[in-house]
Homo-oligomer: A and B are copies of this chain.
Amino acid sequence: MARVTGTKRSILDAAVELASLNGITGTTMEDVAVRAGVAKGSVYYNFSSKDKLFEQLLLDGVGTLAETLREARGTKTGTPALRSMVDAILELVASNQPMAKLIAAEIFRTDRSWQSPLQLVRREALAEFVAVIQHAHPDRPDAELMAGTVFGAVLVGGIEWLVFSPDRSLQEVSDSVMFMLSGNLTA
């Protein structure tokens, strides 16, 4: 995943920010061009179509997520692995809030042209959670479902944090999530 720079980078950055606010369909190529400080023609020179632009954007975002989770887990297992992964997601959400919102909004859209590649990478990210859960419960058939649930909790929690109570620290939020995942909710 060679790091993108220059004009391509400005365009991608402008695109996430706008799309996290107005949605992909609500973001025009003209908007993107203006925000990136280039002409519309240049956007089309760098990305052959609007679909291609956002496909690359989402694939990069979810790819980074998968990679980050893999690193965060490392060789850990159990609660330490979980905590490390929760922290990693929260850091990612905090450092790229627009991307987090975009992913949250697009991950369940099933009819987009870029859905198949996106779901592939999504599965890759979830696999890290599945590994941790299955290490503790080798016989449960619902590890994948629970992985999705945990991921949803952290993602929504993270966005919730930044949108509605950005004054809290990452540590506080991480503690809250782990507190919940530790069965203390109604104890």
Contact = CB atoms under 8 A, between A and B. Distances in A.
A142 B176 contact: yes
Interface in A148-187: 148-157, 159-161, 163-165, 168, 172-173, 175-177, 179-187
Contacts of A177: 146, 149
Nearest to A79: B186
A106 B144 CA distance: 25
Contacts of A29: none
Interface string A72-83: 000001110110
A104 interface: yes
A180 B183 CA distance: 8
Given A23-B109, A186-B81, A149 B160 contact: yes
Contacts of A163: 108, 110
A180 B21 contact: no
Interface residues of A, number: 58
A48 interface: no
Interface of A: 21-26, 77-79, 81-82, 101, 104-106, 108-111, 132-133, 136-137, 142, 144-146, 148-157, 159-161, 163-165, 168, 172-173, 175-177, 179-187
Given A82-B185, A145-B176, 17 more contacts: A23-B24, A82-B186, A101-B108, A105-B105, A105-B108, A105-B109, A110-B163, A136-B187, A142-B172, A146-B180, A148-B157, A148-B164, A149-B153, A149-B177, A152-B155, A155-B156, A183-B183
